[in-house]
Amino acid sequence: MATDQTSPGKTHNLRIDGSRLWASLMETAAFGGTPAGGINRLTLSPEDGQVRDWFRAACEAAGLEVGVDALGTQYALRRGRDMSRKPIACGSHLDTQPTGGKFDGILGVLAGLEVMRSLDDAGIETEAPLLLVNWTNEEGSRFAPAMMASAAYAGEFTTEEILAKRDAAGISVAEALDAIGCRGPEPVGGREIGAFVELHIEQGPILEAEGKTIGVVEGGQGIAWFDGTVTGFESHAGTTPMPRRRDALLGLAELALAVERIACAHAPSAVATMGEAVIGAPSRNVVPGQIRFTLDLRDPRSETLDAMETALQEAAAEIGTRRNLAFQIERIWRKEPVPFDTKLVAAVDAAAEALGHSRRRIISGAGHDACNLAGRVPTTMIFVPCKDGVSHNESESATPADCAAGADVLLHTLLALANAPRA
């Protein structure tokens, strides 16, 4: 590789190959592709194994050194002039929701790969090494909690705790890793990272509505997840008078509306979702006696999360007393609001400005691996628009131009960080 092309004057016109990035996005969409044009690639599924194999091969073809840790997270290193410096990292995830799209997560991984390829094409060597990461289980749709591998990297869980987590079928993370041959030898958290930048679709409507190309992400909002059960009494649908029923489903319906009111009371920032509800022994002519459900509460302020949780428990208690039902609601995970590193945020802003892209500061409504890493390393994110703000849906869509713009901002942010004077 050349060693004289890292100055701003030599790189300011550098751009990634947008056509190659788009081709990679479309090629990898075949792994778990659905008839409706989306992707079903649950973490550590055979389809996830296929895209991981593709990613490893593509990285090795680009001359990157690939390693894997004990939770299956993949690391692809591009060497720099000064290997004593901590690598500047980028990346995201390759797993999807059961009805996911072609861009959530994988855009950040493939854009990072495209950055490495474009630097090679231009013969550019950086001072610090660059690192591209595919984090295991960002989505949390098969194993809870979400973003578990990056959380373990940041020290929020031990490797053993994560390996013991089980999916709905009783399969552990350890068993799933071994089934597709993706458990690596590296210790989790053993690789030091100097900074981390994650490119992602916004997953919301703000950038598109305002006609902005780049979201300069200043932080992520807080998230609280709950598992709940409402218990009533199963009885005959034809012989039980309405006033004598202990109908778990009606109680849950009331709670769902209460959750909506709680979120609206903290508008516009708060959101709340009851994403799952399963009747214990469903039958057409039986009054439901027990239902398991989940809740997801989010807001950029810790105090609002606290207030929402208190209001949730109070609403459940009132509904339960009035309807003679028993609610049990347990918080299983909470992620506090995360501010991103101000110097990295400024670096993204400067890169977007230099490239001439319209931009705005923004808070991430979704959780991301970057939010976990911010507790250990300087971190920020770059957003690009997605059509109508739709994500976690097979119709999820982004334009080739916006994907390329985000990758260009990623490229120049990484160059600025990797070539900055040693602190």
Phi–psi pair at 326, nearest 5 degrees = -115, 115
Residue-level pLDDT at 369: 97
Helices within 29-126 (DSSP H only): 46-61, 106-122
Q: Is 104 annotated in some ligand binding site?
A: yes
- Identify the DSSP state of 242: G
Question: For residues 328 and 307, what is the distance between their CA atoms, to the nearest angstrom?
Answer: 18
* pLDDT values of the chain reduced to their tens digit, one per residue, 423 residues: 344 445 445 678 999 999 999 999 999 999 999 999 999 999 999 999 999 999 999 999 999 999 999 999 999 999 999 999 999 999 999 999 999 999 999 999 999 999 999 999 999 999 999 999 999 999 999 998 899 999 999 999 999 999 999 999 999 999 999 999 999 999 999 999 999 999 999 999 999 999 999 999 999 999 999 999 999 999 999 999 999 999 999 999 999 999 999 999 999 899 999 999 999 999 999 999 999 999 999 999 999 999 999 999 999 999 999 999 999 999 998 989 999 999 999 999 999 999 999 999 999 988 899 999 998 999 999 999 999 999 999 999 999 999 999 999 999 999 999 999 987
Question: For residues 7 and 11, what is the distance between their CA atoms, to the nearest angstrom?
Answer: 6
Tell me how far apart the terminal alpha carbons of the chain are, to the nearest angstrom. Answer: 25
Question: For residues 53 and 24, what is the distance between their CA atoms, to the nearest angstrom?
Answer: 14
Residue-level pLDDT at 422: 87
User: Please, what sign has the CA dihedral across residues 180, 185, 186, 188?
Assistant: positive
- Identify the DSSP state of 388: G
| CA separation, residue 416 to residues 2, 75, 287, 422 (Å) | 18, 21, 63, 12
Phi–psi pair at 140, nearest 5 degrees = 75, 15
Question: For residues 43 and 47, what is the distance between their CA atoms, to the nearest angstrom?
Answer: 8
Residue-level pLDDT at 2: 41
Residue-level pLDDT at 9: 52
Question: For residues 374 and 381, what is the distance between their CA atoms, to the nearest angstrom?
Answer: 11
Q: Is 357 annotated in some ligand binding site?
A: no
Sequence-ordered list of residues with C-beta below 8 angstroms from that of 116, at least 6 positions apart, any chain: 59, 62, 64, 76, 78, 130, 132
Residue-level pLDDT at 10: 67
- Cis amide bond preceding 87, omega within 30: no
Domain ranges of the chain: 8-220+337-418, 222-335
Residue-level pLDDT at 4: 43
CA 50 to chain centre: 20
- Identify the DSSP state of 234: -
| CA separation, residue 154 to residues 80, 192, 376 (Å) | 24, 11, 6
Is residue 81 within 8 Å of 87, Cβ to Cβ?
A: no
Among candidate residues 87, 89, 86, 111, the one with its CA nearest the CA of residue 28:
111
Q: For domain 222-335, give the fold.
A: Alpha-Beta Plaits (3.30.70)
Residue-level pLDDT at 339: 95
User: Please, what sign has the CA dihedral across residues 83, 86, 88, 91?
Assistant: positive
Q: Is 12 annotated in some ligand binding site?
A: no
Q: Which CATH class is domain 8-220+337-418?
A: alpha beta
Could you write out the DSSP letters of every residue in 305-356? HHHHHHHHHHHHHHHHHHHT-EEEEEEEEEE--EEPPHHHHHHHHHHHHHTT
